[in-house]
Structure 1
Amino acid sequence: MSMIRDLRAVVRPHRRRGVAAFDGTLSESTPSAVVDCAVYSAGKRVGDTCSPREAAHRVRLANGEQSAEGSFVWIGLHEPTEAEFEGIAKRFGLHPLAVEDAVHAHQRPKLERYDDVLFAVFKTIRYVEHGQLTPTSEVVSTGEVMVFTGKDFVITVRHGEHGSLRALRRRLEGDTELLAKGPSAVLHAIADQVVDGYLAVVDELQSDVDEAEFEVFASRTRKSSDIGRVYQLKREVLEFKRAAGPLLRPMQLLSERPMRMVDPDIQKYFRDVADHLARVNEQVAAFDELLNSLLQANLAQVSVAQNEDMRKITAWAAIFAVPTMITGVEGMNFQFMPERDTLYGYPVLMACTLLVCALMYRGFRRNGWL
């Protein structure tokens, strides 16, 4: 990723002069958003990286020959602009609506079919490491990968700083038998990588949810930050849920409904992806329910703590009401008050006051109010 960012930083300032994204291997007409572009035949990469125009020419020339039928081109882009993507879209006949979605991003996970082209949108998820969960912690970070799959091409458009497909491309290039299945093999590999990333994030989130649960039920002092941390974690889980939930139906369609653009042998592998995604959705839904319960439990604990404080205040107020009442009566200065004419009047009155207060304290203490 760092290499890609450094490369893009060097290339983008020279867009207007037509400088290519790769030194010497791409033509001047290549958009700087292109990360890699290559032709594959019989599961093997043919030649070095080339421009999208040259790749399209090669693959269509090769597919015209009986011996090389089944070749395809894989173009990878990172956050292209409309101008950068326009030429590629026209060359491969991509639908304008799908192109608009791919350029502007922030799309819902989905699978759409435009004639003989499949357009899939995947939300990538990355777990953000943090020392301690706070009310403002970022727990998950999202990105997007769009995939155009045709008869003889795969175009991937990535948005965000994670979810790189470079390692995936190298791994597929090492499995010629799988890559020989064509563009649908690339589509499956991307879906499988995205869902595997979900599983890794779920495992990390489990630790955060367990920590939040422990803090809610183990802490004796109820702080406002406790509920803030739980609420922030719930927001991050909901973001995860919005990324993984809508993707289940497209994966089920790819695994169940025959499609011309998907090799029958590859279609079987989508079932495994759909099963893993269903497991992710179940766990995320469980996290959501548990965090809802933690929020309710925390609010209940705060309410109980407030009731306990009110009972204590009420008990002490009742105890201090006794000397206050006696003091108020004595302060009336009536002419005939018996305790004024006796030697032990005031000591006896004070002793009675203390005795009543002690008895009230004992009663409140026994009933758990103090």
Structure 2
Amino acid sequence: MLINCVAYQNGIKLADIGAEQIPDYLHLPDALVWVALHDASDEEISHFGELFALHPLAVDDARNGHQRPKLEEYGDILFLVMKTLEPDKDNAIHVGEVDLFVGANFVLSIRNRTRKGFQNVRERCEREPHLLSHGSGFVLYALMDTVVDRYLAVIHQLEDELEDIEIRLFSKNSSARRNITDLYALKRKLITVSHVALPLHEATARLYGGRVPRPCHHLNEYFRDVDDHLARIMHTVESQRDMLATAIQVNLAMISLDESNISKKLAAYAALFAIPTMIAGIYGMNFTHMPELNSPLGYPLALLSMLILDILLWRRFRRSGWL
């Protein structure tokens, strides 16, 4: 579905145009045509591929979707695939895809399975015509910068989740099974972020320094800024994965500690029952010559001995923290 098709000249918006008018504006000096599609059909992608003379292999990738983040050059035209990350219900992460075709005087963006659009990016570019006058390269930067900023929002959400789980680890009413389930769910989310950000980090490094593609000339500092953000994201992901591994070990240690405490309590109660059982067992042998066997005080003395010994043991266990 066509969302926007706008023509610019020297950073100034000329008009919203139809697809059939695109060839007329492409021939204007210092012109830029910016087309945005959302969940485009194969026919739409093929149609705009013909209008902008895109490479068939890149058009096939855009039609098929589900591409790994990458940057490819077809002559003077760049084909960039980015993944979008958006918070979903139940603290899940929704993954979408943005395919960008960037030529000297056009930008074609195709969003697939994304919920939040890039209208704010277009508004930002139109508010800064002196930057938009750099052409398609600045539009590419603005779109990449917005996608990466949305990664940061997801990273902050994952940091909050990890902090909540860490607090629960030391709660007496916490469920160890729930903690370990949430920790592994968080680990899968971090892997998802890593699979999305790392390839884009590698691709962005090709857009500044050394030989850069033609649309990105004179924009080195902008793409270096995006690359710095991606490097920070990867560093944060690695740090969270280390903290996650530590949290998993702590959770297992807490489980072992709880089991040890239970074992101590069971051993203490077994010792308390062992004293009466031992005394009763001795007097249950019914030998003729046993102390107090024929005394009327024998029975109460035996019970009193059991009680006194159990009280002494109970106090000792309480002092040791077993009970």
**CA distance in structure 1 between the aligned counterparts of 2:301 and 2:245, rounded to whole angstroms:** 59
1:44 counterpart = 2:12: yes
**CA distance in structure 1 between the aligned counterparts of 2:123 and 2:309, rounded to whole angstroms:** 86
Q: Give the aligned partner of residue 59 of structure 1.
A: 25
Deviation at 1:178, TM superposition (A): 1.6
**CA distance in structure 2 between the aligned counterparts of 1:262 and 1:60, rounded to whole angstroms:** 15
Q: Give the aligned partner of residue 108 of structure 1.
A: 68
8 A Cα contact 2:35 2:109, kept in partner: yes
Runs of 4+ residues deviating >4 angstroms: 332-338
Q: Give the aligned partner of residue 193 of structure 2.
A: 240
Cα offsets for 1:91-120 (capped at 9, x unmatched) = 323233322332333322221222322111
**CA distance in structure 2 between the aligned counterparts of 1:263 and 1:341, rounded to whole angstroms:** 108
**Which segment drifts farther, 103-112 or 325-334?**
325-334
1:220 counterpart = 2:187: no
Corresponding residue SS for 1:309: helix
Q: Give the aligned partner of residue 223 of structure 2.
A: 270
2:124 alignment partner, one of 171, 188, 193 = 171
**CA distance in structure 2 between the aligned counterparts of 1:251 and 1:311, rounded to whole angstroms:** 58
**CA distance in structure 2 between the aligned counterparts of 1:263 and 1:246, rounded to whole angstroms:** 19
1:97 counterpart = 2:38: no
**CA distance in structure 2 between the aligned counterparts of 1:119 and 1:255, rounded to whole angstroms:** 16
Query: What amino acid is the match of 1:54?
Result: Q
8 A Cα contact 1:315 1:369, kept in partner: yes
8 A Cα contact 2:206 2:212, kept in partner: no
RMSD across aligned positions (CA): 2.3
8 A Cα contact 2:137 2:217, kept in partner: no
**CA distance in structure 2 between the aligned counterparts of 1:102 and 1:327, rounded to whole angstroms:** 85
Corresponding residue SS for 1:341: coil
TM-score of the aligned structures, taking structure 1 as reference length: 0.79
Query: What amino acid is the match of 2:49?
Result: A
Aligned length: 322
8 A Cα contact 1:139 1:233, kept in partner: no
Query: What amino acid is the match of 1:45?
Result: K
Cα offsets for 1:254-293 (capped at 9, x unmatched) = 1223234234222221111111221122122222221221
Query: What amino acid is the match of 1:59?
Result: Y
Q: Give the aligned partner of residue 313 of structure 1.
A: 266
Deviation at 1:332, TM superposition (A): 4.3
Deviation at 1:338, TM superposition (A): 4.4
Q: Give the aligned partner of residue 74 of structure 1.
A: 34
**CA distance in structure 2 between the aligned counterparts of 1:139 and 1:86, rounded to whole angstroms:** 34
8 A Cα contact 2:103 2:215, kept in partner: no
What percent identity do the matched residue pairs reach? Answer: 36
Deviation at 1:333, TM superposition (A): 4.4
**CA distance in structure 1 between the aligned counterparts of 2:317 and 2:201, rounded to whole angstroms:** 59
**CA distance in structure 2 between the aligned counterparts of 1:323 and 1:123, rounded to whole angstroms:** 71
2:107 alignment partner, one of 154, 159, 164 = 154
Structure 1 unaligned runs (5+)?
A: 1-32, 63-67, 131-136
8 A Cα contact 1:248 1:274, kept in partner: yes
**CA distance in structure 2 between the aligned counterparts of 1:222 and 1:36, rounded to whole angstroms:** 51
**CA distance in structure 1 between the aligned counterparts of 2:73 and 2:27, rounded to whole angstroms:** 26
Corresponding residue SS for 1:59: helix
8 A Cα contact 2:5 2:18, kept in partner: yes
Corresponding residue SS for 1:35: strand
Deviation at 1:358, TM superposition (A): 2.3
8 A Cα contact 1:142 1:160, kept in partner: yes
**Which segment drifts farther, 324-333 or 108-117?**
324-333
Deviation at 1:334, TM superposition (A): 4.8
Structure 2 unaligned runs (5+)?
A: none
8 A Cα contact 2:104 2:215, kept in partner: no
TM-score of the aligned structures, taking structure 2 as reference length: 0.90
Deviation at 1:300, TM superposition (A): 0.8
Corresponding residue SS for 2:202: helix
Deviation at 1:188, TM superposition (A): 0.7
